[in-house]
Amino acid sequence: MSQSLTIPRPDDWHLHLRDGAVLRAVLPETARHFARAIIMPNLVPPVVTAADARAYRDRIMAALPEGMDFTPLMTLYLTEDTDPADVARAHAEGLITAVKLYPAGATTNSASGVRDFDRVRGVLEAMAEAGCPLCVHGEVTDPEIDIFDREAVFIDRVLDPLRRATPGLRVIMEHITTRNGVDYVKANDAGLGGTITTHHLIINRNHLLVGGIKPHYYCLPVAKREEHRQALRAAATSGDARFFLGTDSAPHTDPNKESACGCAGCFTATNTLPLLAHVFEEERALDRLEGFASSHGPGFYGLPVNARTLTLVKSDTPTQFPDKIDTGDGPVTVFDPGFPVYWSVAG
């Protein structure tokens, strides 16, 4: 018997589109299903000024195939030299939706990120005043801290002090991977949101490491132990409006993933929504997918829920997703959940 679920068109509150040939290949994968996405600014070189964001937005729109409707919500990459006035102006004009904080060295292309948080205080204050939210990659980079503890330590050492020092700043703790992240979001008010990726609802660190290393499951923050995955599932399916979808779909070509020093990132744009339907159904919470994927994010950002809809259908036979997306720079492997999925997007 086939089953279906119609929801307002989802948005992706954390997405990597890259540039050039990869952008052209991956953009339709997102635009086919999502109305809007927060576009990560970690290009090489990064998107740091309003002028950079405008030029990148134009390249995204130029890469969008005819007939597809998609709005990129641009972000600026926070550096210790970011000009508060440039940020405030870009936000007031509607050019940017948020600013992204990468602790320097935390992840892919984060070398220009923040080392000394005192040096960005002025920008954060200007953002609080302007109502411009801060998207945060929440991991410390201290080499002494174990990679599996970096999110929990970040909350205590950086995120909580930063939020206390800048009252009124709206913050999104992105791609939370731990019970600690879930608990921190729950312990605060509506000024703090948490995004959760599709892959962190599906894999734990065993999937990454047991039976041979799986480079396509390597991402940052790295997948944690099972109890954390369970906490993320509970948060995502709870109906709590502070949790919403940010896929962190992050394409790298296969040679860059399947390498002695492989890049971090799972590419999930192609099959994210069917996978989420599967997960929410498993958790007996299909009725809450709409909140997580379609309405909590707009609520946090003060944007309207999309008027168009999207329908997911469940059939008796497993959905065949492509293994790879070809780009002019090489193939990008689509995230494989490791189990059959019977959901697909209609149309």
Instruction: Tell me whether residue 240 or residue 248 sits nearer to ligand DOR (CB atom).
Output: 248
Residue 21 CB neighbour total at 10 angstroms: 15
Q: Are 49 and 84 in contact (CB under 8 A)?
A: no
To ligand DOR, the closest distance from the beta carbon of 248 in angstroms equals 6
Residue 248 a catalytic site member: yes
Among 36, 100, 137, 199, binds ligand DOR (CB under 6 A): 137
Using CB under 6 A as the binding rule, the residues of this chain from 1 to 40 that contact ligand DOR are 16
Handedness of CA 225, 14, 37, 184 (dihedral sign): positive
Among 25, 31, 42, 201, binds ligand DOR (CB under 6 A): 42
CA-nearest of 223, 227, 138, 221 to 185 is 138
Q: Decide which of Zn ion, ligand DOR, none touches 220; Cβ closer than 5 to 8 Å per partner kind.
A: ligand DOR
Q: Decide which of ligand DOR, Zn ion, none touches 219; Cβ closer than 5 to 8 Å per partner kind.
A: ligand DOR
Interhelix angle 50-63/20-31, rounded to 10 degrees, is: 70
Using CB under 6 A as the binding rule, the residues of this chain from 222 to 261 that contact ligand DOR are 248, 250
Instruction: Tell me whether residue 103 or residue 193 sits nearer to ligand DOR (CB atom).
Output: 103
To ligand DOR, the closest distance from the beta carbon of 178 in angstroms equals 15
Among 248, 280, 298, 306, binds Zn ion (CB under 5 A): 248
Instruction: Tell me whether residue 83 or residue 142 sits nearer to ligand DOR (CB atom).
Output: 142
To ligand DOR, the closest distance from the beta carbon of 37 in angstroms equals 14
Number of residues engaging Zn ion in binding (CB under 5 A):
1
For the chain, the maximum distance between any two Cα atoms, rounded to a whole number of angstroms, is: 59
Instruction: Tell me whether residue 5 or residue 74 sits nearer to Zn ion (CB atom).
Output: 74
Does 107 interact with ligand DOR (rule: CB under 6 A)? yes
Q: Which of 118, 248, 329, 336 is catalytic?
A: 248
Using CB under 6 A as the binding rule, the residues of this chain from 189 to 208 that contact ligand DOR are none
Does 219 interact with ligand DOR (rule: CB under 6 A)? yes
Question: Which backbone phi and psi does 76 adopt, to 5 degrees?
Answer: -110, 145
To ligand DOR, the closest distance from the beta carbon of 116 in angstroms equals 21
Instruction: Tell me whether residue 5 or residue 74 sits nearer to ligand DOR (CB atom).
Output: 74
Instruction: Tell me whether residue 12 or residue 248 sits nearer to Zn ion (CB atom).
Output: 248
Q: Are 190 and 242 in contact (CB under 8 A)?
A: yes
To ligand DOR, the closest distance from the beta carbon of 11 in angstroms equals 19
In the chain, what is the straight-line distance between the N-terminal and C-terminal CA atoms, in Å?
19
Q: Decide which of Zn ion, ligand DOR, none touches 29; Cβ closer than 5 to 8 Å per partner kind.
A: none
Does 43 interact with ligand DOR (rule: CB under 6 A)? no
To ligand DOR, the closest distance from the beta carbon of 145 in angstroms equals 17
Binding region for Zn ion (CB under 5 A): 248
Binding region for ligand DOR (CB under 6 A): 16, 42, 107-108, 137, 219-220, 248, 250, 264-265
Report, as residue numbers or ranges, the catalytic residues: 248
